[in-house]
Amino acid sequence: MTTRRDFVTSMAAGVGALALAPSARSWAALAKVPIMDRLGLQLWSVRDSMREDVAGTLARVQALGFREIEAAGLWGQTAEEFRASLDKAGLRCQSAHMGLDRLKDDAASGFAEVTTLGAKHIVSPWIAHEGAFTREDALKAAESFNTIGAGAKAAGLRFSYHCHGYEFVPSDEGTLFDTLAQNTDPENVRFQIDVFWAKAGGVDPAALIAAYPGRMPLLHIKDMQKGVDFPVGTSGAPHETNVPVGTGQIDWSGVFQAAAASSTELFYIEDESPSVWEQLPQTLEYLRSFKA
């Protein structure tokens, strides 16, 4: 559990540009729900800017108060060059996304790449499938996950799969997400829950996190516009339905309490909206002053 002293220290280091002391009630809530001291930005959020100017974008991310990022590719640089760019910007990478096909075809180079970045977590964000995602697709993916996860462990890494909404249709095990979870080795295969996509896919994100304690080391923090609803199994949504955290329909108290109970380690904001630079400060302000 994060102590108040630890939280204050890490908050000053991580989001000092926004650090106005919240209320005692807020401190108490956040002491039980370790958010700010483990908060970063998934760089896919600022993909358009990254394509144009890596160094400038990373500097802008750091200026917002971030010290942690989650990688989403190398943006035209080598792993060594990108690590140097992160170091220059004062940013740390503990988690990196990488395509499943690459990990199936050449896991060793993938492991080497994320290790160069300094990451300990390697995350696959998508399972390729044609048409509807099926139980057969899930079982095949689970087999691949077990192989990749064992290799990652041997390389000193931890492998996770990032949910995307299509996994939450009914299956023999409950949902196809349950099929994935129950057919993979808990020691080698973990999950990154994207709160938005879990909600869009048809499940309660907090209940999902609570159902698999210890297997959700990573969380994507993303809010959904109020009033929108998607069919079960949805894996696509208009980008404008991504809204500043705290202004949408996600029950953040429930999510963060479940994450704390499940020992979630790292939290990454991901905002795919066209107004990401305007929304990020609002999201950070909400999380900084969060009250359970």
* CATH number, position 61: 3.20.20.150
Residue 264, C-beta contacts closer than 8 angstroms, at least 6 positions apart:
209, 216, 217, 218, 219
Is position 29 within any domain?
no
Residue 1 predicted with pLDDT over 90: no
CB atoms within 10 A of CB 268: 26
Is position 4 within any domain?
no
Q: Which is nearest to 33 in space by CA: 6, 68, 65, 2?
A: 2
CA distance 111 to 130: 27
Is position 9 within any domain?
no
| pLDDT: which is higher, 22 or 78 | 78
**How many domains in the chain?**
1
Find residue 267's DSSP bridge partners: 39, 219
Residue 21 predicted with pLDDT over 60: no
pLDDT above 90 covers a percentage of the chain that reads 84
Q: Which helix (H) or strand (E) holds 170?
A: strand 170-171
Band of residue 292 on the pLDDT scale cut at 50, 70, 90: low
DSSP string computed for 68-93: EEEEE--TTS-HHHHHHHHHHHT-EE
Question: 222 lies in which domain range?
Answer: 38-288
Residue 175 predicted with pLDDT over 60: yes
**Token pair for 187:** 């020691």
Is position 3 within any domain?
no
Distances (CA, A) of 142 to 147, 186, 207: 9, 11, 22
Is position 17 within any domain?
no
**Token pair for 70:** 């989650």
Q: Is 209 helix (H, G, I), strand (E, B) or coil?
A: helix
Band of residue 37 on the pLDDT scale cut at 50, 70, 90: confident
| pLDDT: which is higher, 260 or 183 | 183
CA distance 2 to 199: 28
Pick the range with the lowest mean pLDDT from 31-40, 111-120, 279-288. 31-40
Pick the range with the lowest mean pLDDT from 15-19, 48-52, 88-92, 144-148. 15-19
Positive or negative CA dihedral for 92, 79, 155, 261? positive
Q: Please, are residues 208 and 174 in contact by the beta-carbon 8 Å criterion?
A: no
Pick the range with the lowest mean pLDDT from 16-30, 95-109, 180-194. 16-30
Is position 106 within any domain?
yes
pLDDT above 70 covers a percentage of the chain that reads 87
- Tell me what the pLDDT averaged over the chain comes to: 89
Amino acid (1-letter code) at residue 61: V
Q: Is 218 helix (H, G, I), strand (E, B) or coil?
A: strand
The two beta strands, 242-243 and 223-224, are: antiparallel
Is position 208 within any domain?
yes
Is position 84 within any domain?
yes
Band of residue 11 on the pLDDT scale cut at 50, 70, 90: very low
- With 0-12 / 13-18 / 19 or more C-beta atoms within 10 angstroms meaning exposed / middle / buried, residue 246 is middle
